[in-house]
Amino acid sequence: MTQSDLQTRPAAVAVTAESIQKTSRERGEPEWLTAQRVEAWARAEALPMPTRQMEGWRRTNLSGLDVHGLLRQRSSGPAAEACSTLADNVTGLAGSLRIEDGKVLERTLAPELARKGVIVSSLRQALAEKPELVQQHLGRIVTGEESKFVALAAALWEDGLFVYVPAGVAIEQPILSRLASTGGAPSFFRTLIVVEQSTDVTIVEDYLSDEAAGEALASGAVELVTGQASRVRYANLQEWNTQTWHFNRLKSETGRDSRIDWLFVAVGGKAHRAEIDAELTGQGSETELVGLIFGNGDQQFDHQVLQDHVGNDTRSNSNFKAALGDAGSSNFQGMIRVNKTSLRTDSNLENRNLLLSDHSKAESDPRLEILNSDVVRCAHGATVGPLDPEILFYIQSRGVPLDEARRLVVEAFFEEVLVKIPVDSIRESVWRTVQRKLGREIGAAEKSSGVDAWQAG
Protein backbone atom coordinates (compact mmCIF):
# COMPACT_ATOMS: atom_id res chain seq x y z
CA MET A 1 0.00 0.00 0.00
CA THR A 2 1.35 3.42 -0.92
CA GLN A 3 1.20 6.60 1.12
CA SER A 4 -1.31 8.03 -1.36
CA ASP A 5 -3.47 4.95 -0.74
CA LEU A 6 -3.39 5.75 2.96
CA GLN A 7 -4.54 9.30 2.20
CA THR A 8 -7.52 8.35 0.02
CA ARG A 9 -8.79 4.99 1.24
CA PRO A 10 -10.90 4.35 4.34
CA ALA A 11 -8.94 4.27 7.58
CA ALA A 12 -9.76 0.60 8.16
CA VAL A 13 -7.64 -0.61 5.23
CA ALA A 14 -4.61 -2.54 6.52
CA VAL A 15 -1.16 -3.01 5.02
CA THR A 16 -0.34 -6.58 3.95
CA ALA A 17 2.49 -8.33 2.13
CA GLU A 18 0.14 -8.76 -0.84
CA SER A 19 -0.70 -5.05 -0.99
CA ILE A 20 3.00 -4.14 -0.80
CA GLN A 21 3.85 -6.55 -3.60
CA LYS A 22 0.94 -5.35 -5.75
CA THR A 23 1.78 -1.67 -5.35
CA SER A 24 5.48 -2.23 -6.03
CA ARG A 25 4.71 -4.01 -9.28
CA GLU A 26 2.14 -1.40 -10.33
CA ARG A 27 4.84 1.23 -9.94
CA GLY A 28 7.12 -0.76 -12.19
CA GLU A 29 9.73 -1.30 -9.50
CA PRO A 30 12.37 -3.97 -10.22
CA GLU A 31 11.83 -7.44 -8.82
CA TRP A 32 14.79 -7.14 -6.44
CA LEU A 33 13.15 -4.10 -4.78
CA THR A 34 9.74 -5.78 -4.58
CA ALA A 35 11.39 -8.77 -2.89
CA GLN A 36 13.31 -6.45 -0.54
CA ARG A 37 10.10 -4.70 0.50
CA VAL A 38 8.19 -7.94 1.11
CA GLU A 39 11.09 -9.40 3.10
CA ALA A 40 11.29 -6.22 5.21
CA TRP A 41 7.54 -6.37 5.89
CA ALA A 42 7.91 -9.94 7.11
CA ARG A 43 10.64 -8.76 9.50
CA ALA A 44 8.48 -5.85 10.66
CA GLU A 45 5.65 -8.25 11.52
CA ALA A 46 8.01 -10.69 13.25
CA LEU A 47 10.02 -8.17 15.27
CA PRO A 48 8.47 -7.24 18.62
CA MET A 49 7.35 -3.78 19.53
CA PRO A 50 10.19 -2.32 21.65
CA THR A 51 9.47 -2.08 25.37
CA ARG A 52 11.37 -0.68 28.33
CA GLN A 53 12.36 -4.23 29.26
CA MET A 54 14.48 -4.51 26.09
CA GLU A 55 18.18 -3.60 25.97
CA GLY A 56 18.68 -0.24 24.28
CA TRP A 57 15.07 0.83 24.86
CA ARG A 58 14.94 0.96 28.66
CA ARG A 59 14.70 4.76 28.82
CA THR A 60 12.30 5.24 25.90
CA ASN A 61 8.60 5.43 26.69
CA LEU A 62 6.49 4.23 23.74
CA SER A 63 3.39 3.45 25.77
CA GLY A 64 1.26 5.96 23.86
CA LEU A 65 2.33 4.79 20.41
CA ASP A 66 -0.33 2.98 18.34
CA VAL A 67 1.63 1.84 15.28
CA HIS A 68 -1.26 0.06 13.58
CA GLY A 69 -3.60 3.00 14.13
CA LEU A 70 -1.08 5.49 12.72
CA LEU A 71 -0.40 3.25 9.71
CA ARG A 72 -4.08 3.59 8.78
CA GLN A 73 -4.25 7.34 9.13
CA ARG A 74 -4.99 9.60 6.20
CA SER A 75 -3.74 13.08 5.38
CA SER A 76 -5.89 15.82 6.91
CA GLY A 77 -5.78 18.21 3.98
CA PRO A 78 -4.08 19.36 0.80
CA ALA A 79 -0.40 20.26 0.93
CA ALA A 80 -0.88 23.88 -0.08
CA GLU A 81 -2.98 24.59 3.01
CA ALA A 82 -0.86 22.93 5.63
CA CYS A 83 2.89 23.28 5.42
CA SER A 84 3.93 26.91 5.10
CA THR A 85 7.47 26.17 6.27
CA LEU A 86 8.43 24.96 2.81
CA ALA A 87 7.58 28.30 1.29
CA ASP A 88 10.89 29.69 2.58
CA ASN A 89 13.17 30.65 -0.27
CA VAL A 90 16.65 29.24 0.36
CA THR A 91 19.36 30.61 -1.93
CA GLY A 92 23.00 29.74 -2.57
CA LEU A 93 22.43 26.03 -3.19
CA ALA A 94 24.14 23.65 -5.59
CA GLY A 95 20.98 21.56 -5.77
CA SER A 96 17.73 20.91 -3.96
CA LEU A 97 14.96 18.38 -3.55
CA ARG A 98 11.55 19.02 -2.03
CA ILE A 99 9.19 16.16 -1.22
CA GLU A 100 5.80 16.78 0.33
CA ASP A 101 3.49 13.94 1.35
CA GLY A 102 5.50 11.52 -0.80
CA LYS A 103 5.38 13.72 -3.93
CA VAL A 104 8.35 15.47 -5.52
CA LEU A 105 7.48 19.16 -5.81
CA GLU A 106 10.91 20.54 -6.62
CA ARG A 107 14.20 19.25 -7.97
CA THR A 108 17.12 21.49 -8.96
CA LEU A 109 20.79 21.06 -9.79
CA ALA A 110 23.37 23.50 -11.11
CA PRO A 111 23.87 22.76 -14.85
CA GLU A 112 27.67 22.55 -14.56
CA LEU A 113 27.32 19.85 -11.88
CA ALA A 114 24.85 17.88 -13.98
CA ARG A 115 27.37 17.94 -16.85
CA LYS A 116 29.97 16.48 -14.50
CA GLY A 117 27.67 13.55 -13.66
CA VAL A 118 26.36 14.68 -10.28
CA ILE A 119 22.86 13.43 -9.48
CA VAL A 120 20.45 14.95 -6.96
CA SER A 121 17.07 13.28 -7.17
CA SER A 122 14.40 11.43 -5.31
CA LEU A 123 15.18 7.80 -4.65
CA ARG A 124 12.34 6.71 -6.91
CA GLN A 125 13.74 8.80 -9.76
CA ALA A 126 17.17 7.28 -9.11
CA LEU A 127 15.73 3.83 -9.79
CA ALA A 128 15.36 4.97 -13.40
CA GLU A 129 18.52 7.09 -13.67
CA LYS A 130 21.03 4.96 -11.71
CA PRO A 131 19.37 1.56 -11.21
CA GLU A 132 22.64 -0.37 -10.84
CA LEU A 133 23.94 2.01 -8.15
CA VAL A 134 20.69 1.91 -6.18
CA GLN A 135 20.58 -1.88 -6.34
CA GLN A 136 24.21 -2.13 -5.24
CA HIS A 137 23.81 -0.02 -2.12
CA LEU A 138 20.17 0.32 -1.02
CA GLY A 139 19.62 -1.83 2.05
CA ARG A 140 23.23 -3.03 2.12
CA ILE A 141 24.48 -1.29 5.27
CA VAL A 142 21.05 -0.63 6.82
CA THR A 143 19.31 -3.95 6.33
CA GLY A 144 16.02 -3.49 8.18
CA GLU A 145 16.94 -6.06 10.80
CA GLU A 146 17.80 -3.39 13.37
CA SER A 147 14.30 -2.80 14.76
CA LYS A 148 10.62 -2.93 13.91
CA PHE A 149 10.68 0.73 12.86
CA VAL A 150 13.64 0.33 10.51
CA ALA A 151 11.95 -2.69 8.95
CA LEU A 152 8.76 -0.67 8.42
CA ALA A 153 10.74 2.03 6.63
CA ALA A 154 12.43 -0.59 4.43
CA ALA A 155 9.07 -2.08 3.49
CA LEU A 156 6.93 1.04 3.08
CA TRP A 157 9.25 3.90 2.06
CA GLU A 158 7.50 6.22 -0.31
CA ASP A 159 10.50 8.27 -1.44
CA GLY A 160 13.62 10.01 -0.20
CA LEU A 161 16.89 11.62 -1.18
CA PHE A 162 19.45 10.19 -3.59
CA VAL A 163 22.81 11.89 -4.15
CA TYR A 164 25.63 10.65 -6.35
CA VAL A 165 28.94 12.50 -6.75
CA PRO A 166 31.41 11.04 -9.28
CA ALA A 167 35.17 10.90 -8.67
CA GLY A 168 37.09 14.15 -8.51
CA VAL A 169 34.09 16.49 -8.22
CA ALA A 170 34.11 19.19 -5.53
CA ILE A 171 30.82 20.96 -4.85
CA GLU A 172 31.27 24.31 -3.13
CA GLN A 173 27.65 25.09 -2.23
CA PRO A 174 25.38 22.82 -0.17
CA ILE A 175 22.68 20.46 -1.42
CA LEU A 176 19.38 20.78 0.45
CA SER A 177 16.63 18.17 0.75
CA ARG A 178 13.35 18.96 2.52
CA LEU A 179 10.85 16.26 3.40
CA ALA A 180 7.50 17.52 4.67
CA SER A 181 4.25 16.06 5.91
CA THR A 182 1.09 18.16 5.82
CA GLY A 183 -1.36 15.66 7.33
CA GLY A 184 -1.53 12.64 9.58
CA ALA A 185 -0.39 10.07 7.01
CA PRO A 186 2.78 8.14 7.95
CA SER A 187 6.11 9.31 6.54
CA PHE A 188 8.44 6.47 5.53
CA PHE A 189 11.62 7.53 3.79
CA ARG A 190 15.06 6.34 2.68
CA THR A 191 18.21 8.31 1.90
CA LEU A 192 21.08 6.96 -0.17
CA ILE A 193 24.26 9.02 -0.64
CA VAL A 194 27.14 7.62 -2.70
CA VAL A 195 30.27 9.69 -3.29
CA GLU A 196 33.28 8.41 -5.20
CA GLN A 197 36.95 9.08 -4.48
CA SER A 198 38.46 12.58 -4.14
CA THR A 199 35.13 14.37 -3.82
CA ASP A 200 33.84 17.17 -1.61
CA VAL A 201 30.15 17.78 -0.84
CA THR A 202 27.83 19.25 1.81
CA ILE A 203 24.32 17.78 2.16
CA VAL A 204 21.49 19.02 4.40
CA GLU A 205 18.32 17.04 5.09
CA ASP A 206 15.42 18.75 6.83
CA TYR A 207 12.25 16.98 8.09
CA LEU A 208 9.26 19.28 8.61
CA SER A 209 5.57 19.30 9.54
CA ASP A 210 3.15 21.88 10.88
CA GLU A 211 1.49 21.40 14.25
CA ALA A 212 -1.87 21.24 12.46
CA ALA A 213 -0.78 17.96 10.86
CA GLY A 214 -1.56 16.18 14.13
CA GLU A 215 -0.18 12.89 15.43
CA ALA A 216 1.87 10.91 12.93
CA LEU A 217 4.52 8.22 12.55
CA ALA A 218 7.79 8.94 10.73
CA SER A 219 10.50 6.34 10.17
CA GLY A 220 13.48 6.25 7.86
CA ALA A 221 17.02 5.18 7.14
CA VAL A 222 20.11 6.97 5.84
CA GLU A 223 22.96 5.13 4.11
CA LEU A 224 26.13 7.10 3.36
CA VAL A 225 28.95 5.49 1.34
CA THR A 226 32.21 7.34 0.62
CA GLY A 227 35.14 6.57 -1.64
CA GLN A 228 38.84 7.14 -0.97
CA ALA A 229 40.00 10.63 0.04
CA SER A 230 36.49 12.11 -0.04
CA ARG A 231 35.02 14.77 2.25
CA VAL A 232 31.33 14.77 3.19
CA ARG A 233 29.53 17.16 5.52
CA TYR A 234 26.05 15.79 6.29
CA ALA A 235 23.44 17.63 8.38
CA ASN A 236 20.23 15.97 9.55
CA LEU A 237 17.62 18.38 10.94
CA GLN A 238 14.48 17.05 12.64
CA GLU A 239 11.74 19.68 12.90
CA TRP A 240 8.57 17.55 12.92
CA ASN A 241 5.64 18.83 14.94
CA THR A 242 5.43 17.90 18.62
CA GLN A 243 2.96 15.07 17.91
CA THR A 244 5.20 13.02 15.62
CA TRP A 245 6.82 9.73 16.61
CA HIS A 246 10.17 9.83 14.80
CA PHE A 247 12.64 6.97 14.26
CA ASN A 248 15.74 7.09 12.09
CA ARG A 249 18.63 4.73 11.47
CA LEU A 250 21.78 6.31 10.00
CA LYS A 251 24.93 4.47 8.99
CA SER A 252 28.09 5.35 7.08
CA GLU A 253 30.81 3.36 5.40
CA THR A 254 33.94 5.51 5.26
CA GLY A 255 36.62 4.97 2.62
CA ARG A 256 40.39 5.20 3.03
CA ASP A 257 41.64 8.68 4.02
CA SER A 258 38.10 10.09 3.80
CA ARG A 259 36.19 12.18 6.32
CA ILE A 260 32.52 12.52 7.24
CA ASP A 261 31.29 15.37 9.43
CA TRP A 262 27.84 14.66 10.86
CA LEU A 263 25.52 17.29 12.29
CA PHE A 264 22.27 16.37 14.06
CA VAL A 265 19.62 18.85 15.16
CA ALA A 266 16.51 17.57 16.96
CA VAL A 267 13.95 20.13 18.13
CA GLY A 268 10.64 18.52 17.08
CA GLY A 269 8.75 15.32 17.64
CA LYS A 270 6.80 13.80 20.48
CA ALA A 271 9.38 11.03 20.71
CA HIS A 272 12.59 11.10 18.69
CA ARG A 273 15.03 8.21 18.37
CA ALA A 274 18.11 8.29 16.15
CA GLU A 275 20.44 5.30 15.86
CA ILE A 276 23.74 6.51 14.41
CA ASP A 277 26.45 4.08 13.32
CA ALA A 278 29.60 5.81 12.07
CA GLU A 279 31.73 2.99 10.71
CA LEU A 280 35.36 3.94 10.05
CA THR A 281 36.21 1.29 7.51
CA GLY A 282 39.16 2.58 5.50
CA GLN A 283 42.65 3.24 6.81
CA GLY A 284 43.11 6.83 7.92
CA SER A 285 39.39 7.62 7.82
CA GLU A 286 37.91 10.24 10.14
CA THR A 287 34.53 11.30 11.44
CA GLU A 288 33.09 14.00 13.67
CA LEU A 289 29.56 13.85 15.09
CA VAL A 290 27.93 16.92 16.59
CA GLY A 291 24.40 17.12 17.97
CA LEU A 292 21.98 19.81 19.18
CA ILE A 293 18.85 18.77 21.07
CA PHE A 294 16.29 21.16 22.52
CA GLY A 295 13.15 19.81 24.16
CA ASN A 296 10.28 21.11 26.24
CA GLY A 297 6.73 20.06 27.01
CA ASP A 298 6.88 16.28 27.36
CA GLN A 299 9.19 15.70 24.38
CA GLN A 300 11.62 12.81 24.69
CA PHE A 301 14.84 12.37 22.71
CA ASP A 302 16.92 9.21 22.41
CA HIS A 303 20.28 9.08 20.62
CA GLN A 304 22.21 5.84 20.23
CA VAL A 305 25.66 6.64 18.81
CA LEU A 306 28.32 4.14 17.75
CA GLN A 307 31.82 5.21 16.69
CA ASP A 308 32.92 1.93 15.14
CA HIS A 309 36.65 1.78 14.39
CA VAL A 310 37.45 -0.94 11.86
CA GLY A 311 40.43 0.32 9.83
CA ASN A 312 43.87 1.36 11.08
CA ASP A 313 44.82 4.96 11.99
CA THR A 314 41.21 6.06 12.28
CA ARG A 315 39.98 9.07 14.24
CA SER A 316 36.57 10.01 15.59
CA ASN A 317 35.08 12.67 17.81
CA SER A 318 31.51 13.23 18.97
CA ASN A 319 29.88 15.99 21.02
CA PHE A 320 26.12 16.02 21.64
CA LYS A 321 24.49 18.86 23.57
CA ALA A 322 20.95 18.90 24.95
CA ALA A 323 18.97 21.66 26.67
CA LEU A 324 15.68 20.59 28.24
CA GLY A 325 12.80 22.52 29.74
CA ASP A 326 9.40 21.62 31.22
CA ALA A 327 9.21 17.80 31.42
CA GLY A 328 11.45 17.24 28.39
CA SER A 329 13.88 14.33 28.55
CA SER A 330 16.97 13.12 26.76
CA ASN A 331 18.65 9.74 26.72
CA PHE A 332 22.11 9.45 25.19
CA GLN A 333 23.96 6.18 24.83
CA GLY A 334 27.33 6.45 23.10
CA MET A 335 29.85 3.76 22.33
CA ILE A 336 33.41 3.89 21.04
CA ARG A 337 34.27 0.47 19.68
CA VAL A 338 37.87 -0.30 18.75
CA ASN A 339 37.92 -3.60 16.89
CA LYS A 340 40.75 -6.12 17.11
CA THR A 341 42.08 -5.15 13.70
CA SER A 342 41.89 -1.37 14.23
CA LEU A 343 45.32 -0.12 15.28
CA ARG A 344 46.40 3.36 16.40
CA THR A 345 42.87 4.62 17.04
CA ASP A 346 42.21 8.16 18.31
CA SER A 347 38.68 8.72 19.60
CA ASN A 348 36.68 10.94 21.93
CA LEU A 349 33.00 11.05 22.99
CA GLU A 350 31.19 13.78 24.94
CA ASN A 351 27.59 14.46 25.97
CA ARG A 352 26.59 17.70 27.73
CA ASN A 353 23.11 18.31 29.14
CA LEU A 354 21.57 21.53 30.43
CA LEU A 355 18.41 21.26 32.56
CA LEU A 356 16.17 24.33 32.41
CA SER A 357 13.46 23.19 34.82
CA ASP A 358 13.02 21.04 37.90
CA HIS A 359 11.03 18.51 35.88
CA SER A 360 13.36 17.98 32.92
CA LYS A 361 15.63 14.94 32.85
CA ALA A 362 18.75 13.79 31.04
CA GLU A 363 20.46 10.41 31.22
CA SER A 364 23.82 9.68 29.65
CA ASP A 365 25.69 6.43 29.23
CA PRO A 366 29.03 6.80 27.40
CA ARG A 367 30.95 3.55 26.91
CA LEU A 368 34.23 2.17 25.61
CA GLU A 369 34.82 -1.24 24.02
CA ILE A 370 38.52 -1.59 23.26
CA LEU A 371 39.56 -4.92 21.76
CA ASN A 372 43.28 -4.25 21.19
CA SER A 373 46.08 -2.47 23.06
CA ASP A 374 47.45 -0.29 20.22
CA VAL A 375 45.39 2.85 20.92
CA VAL A 376 46.48 6.49 20.69
CA ARG A 377 43.55 7.82 22.73
CA CYS A 378 40.04 6.75 23.76
CA ALA A 379 38.23 9.18 26.04
CA HIS A 380 34.63 9.77 27.02
CA GLY A 381 32.64 11.99 29.36
CA ALA A 382 29.21 13.35 30.18
CA THR A 383 27.69 16.15 32.27
CA VAL A 384 24.15 16.86 33.46
CA GLY A 385 23.23 19.98 35.39
CA PRO A 386 21.07 23.12 35.69
CA LEU A 387 21.91 26.64 34.59
CA ASP A 388 24.63 28.02 36.83
CA PRO A 389 22.97 30.66 39.08
CA GLU A 390 26.31 32.47 39.51
CA ILE A 391 26.62 32.96 35.75
CA LEU A 392 23.03 34.23 35.57
CA PHE A 393 23.70 36.59 38.50
CA TYR A 394 26.86 37.91 36.84
CA ILE A 395 25.04 38.65 33.56
CA GLN A 396 22.13 40.28 35.41
CA SER A 397 24.56 42.47 37.36
CA ARG A 398 25.43 44.04 33.98
CA GLY A 399 21.82 45.17 33.60
CA VAL A 400 20.55 42.23 31.52
CA PRO A 401 17.03 40.96 32.37
CA LEU A 402 16.76 37.38 33.63
CA ASP A 403 14.99 35.95 30.58
CA GLU A 404 17.60 37.49 28.25
CA ALA A 405 20.41 36.21 30.50
CA ARG A 406 19.01 32.70 30.21
CA ARG A 407 18.77 33.02 26.43
CA LEU A 408 22.37 34.19 26.24
CA VAL A 409 23.58 31.22 28.28
CA VAL A 410 21.64 28.73 26.14
CA GLU A 411 22.88 30.37 22.94
CA ALA A 412 26.47 30.17 24.18
CA PHE A 413 25.90 26.53 25.11
CA PHE A 414 24.74 25.74 21.56
CA GLU A 415 26.96 28.16 19.63
CA GLU A 416 29.63 25.68 18.53
CA VAL A 417 26.89 23.46 17.10
CA LEU A 418 24.82 26.22 15.49
CA VAL A 419 27.79 27.56 13.49
CA LYS A 420 28.14 24.15 11.84
CA ILE A 421 24.73 24.38 10.10
CA PRO A 422 25.91 25.13 6.54
CA VAL A 423 22.87 27.06 5.27
CA ASP A 424 22.49 30.51 6.84
CA SER A 425 18.71 30.73 6.55
CA ILE A 426 18.26 27.26 8.09
CA ARG A 427 20.68 28.06 10.91
CA GLU A 428 18.66 31.20 11.68
CA SER A 429 15.40 29.22 11.50
CA VAL A 430 16.70 26.59 13.94
CA TRP A 431 17.82 29.26 16.38
CA ARG A 432 14.44 31.02 16.12
CA THR A 433 12.78 27.71 17.00
CA VAL A 434 15.05 27.29 20.03
CA GLN A 435 14.35 30.88 21.12
CA ARG A 436 10.61 30.41 20.70
CA LYS A 437 10.60 27.21 22.75
CA LEU A 438 12.88 28.76 25.35
CA GLY A 439 10.58 31.78 25.59
CA ARG A 440 7.56 29.56 26.23
CA GLU A 441 9.48 27.61 28.84
CA ILE A 442 10.63 30.79 30.63
CA GLY A 443 7.14 32.25 30.52
CA ALA A 444 5.56 29.14 31.97
CA ALA A 445 8.16 28.97 34.75
CA GLU A 446 7.76 32.62 35.70
CA LYS A 447 3.98 32.30 35.75
CA SER A 448 3.99 29.26 38.04
CA SER A 449 6.98 29.97 40.28
CA GLY A 450 7.93 33.64 40.00
CA VAL A 451 11.20 35.12 38.80
CA ASP A 452 12.88 34.70 42.18
CA ALA A 453 12.69 30.93 41.87
CA TRP A 454 14.80 31.08 38.74
CA GLN A 455 17.31 33.40 40.39
CA ALA A 456 17.67 30.86 43.18
CA GLY A 457 18.58 28.19 40.58
Q: Over pLDDT 90: what percentage of the chain?
A: 75
**2-6, 21-25, 175-179, 354-358: lowest mean pLDDT where?**
2-6
Q: Mean pLDDT across the stretch 421-440?
A: 83
CA 36 – CA 192 distance, rounded (Å): 16
3-state helix, strand, coil split of the chain in percent (to 5) is 30, 35, 35
Tell me whether residue 436 is exposed, middle or buried, using C-beta atoms within 10 angstroms of its C-beta: 0 to 12, 13 to 18, 19 or more: exposed
Report residue 13's pLDDT band, with 50, 70 and 90 as the boundaries. Answer: low
Q: According to the model, what pLDDT value does residue 165 have?
A: 98
Radius of gyration of the chain measured on its C-alpha atoms: 22
Q: With bands split at pLDDT 50, 70 and 90, how would you rate the model's confidence at 456?
A: very low
CA distance 113 to 95: 9
In a domain, 65, yes or no: yes
- In this structure, are residues 92 and 173 in contact, taking their beta carbons and an 8 Å threshold? yes
Does the pLDDT value for residue 1 go beyond 50?
A: no
pLDDT at 78 over 80: no
Examine residue 85 and state whether it is found in any structural domain, yes or no: yes
Pick from 66-70, 115-119, 274-278, 327-331: least confident: 66-70
Please check the confidence at residue 311 and state whether its pLDDT lies above 70.
yes
Residue 415 is assigned to a structural domain of this protein: no
Q: What is the pLDDT of residues 226-284, one digit of tens each?
A: 999 999 999 999 999 999 999 999 999 999 999 999 999 999 999 999 999 999 999 99
- Dihedral sign for Cα atoms in the order 88, 420, 278, 355: negative
What band does 425 get if pLDDT is binned at 50, 70 and 90?
Answer: confident
Q: Give the model's pLDDT for residue 440.
A: 66
- Judge whether 417 lies within some domain: no
- Examine residue 129 and state whether it is found in any structural domain, yes or no: yes
- Average pLDDT, whole number, for the chain? 89
pLDDT at 356 over 60: yes
The region of weakest confidence among 59-73, 75-89, 166-180, 333-347 is 75-89
pLDDT at 144: 85
One-character DSSP codes across 140-165: TSS-S-S-HHHHHHHHH--B-EEEEE
For 138: left if phi > 0, alpha if psi spans -120 to 50, otherwise beta; the answer is: beta
pLDDT band at residue 403 using 50, 70 and 90 as cut-offs: confident
Q: So what's the pLDDT on residue 426?
A: 83
Range of weakest confidence among 123-127, 160-164, 172-176, 438-442: 438-442
Residue 76 binned pLDDT confidence (cut-offs 50, 70, 90): very low
Q: Give the residue-averaged pLDDT of 208-217.
A: 92
In a domain, 391, yes or no: no
Tell me whether residue 157 is in a domain. Answer: yes
Question: pLDDT-derived band of residue 6, with 50, 70 and 90 as boundaries?
Answer: very low
Three-class DSSP category at 340: coil
Q: How many domains does the chain have?
A: 1
Of the pLDDT bands very low, low, confident and very high (cuts 50, 70, 90), residue 24 is very high
Q: What's 170's DSSP letter? A: B
pLDDT in tens, 32-47: 999 999 999 999 999 9
Please indicate, yes or no, if residue 452 is contained in any of the structural domains: no
What's the rounded mean pLDDT across residues 417-421?
88
Residue 431 has pLDDT above 90, yes or no: no
Domain interval for residue 75? 3-385
pLDDT tens string 136-173: 999 999 998 889 999 999 999 999 999 999 999 999 99
Residue 171 confidence (pLDDT): 98
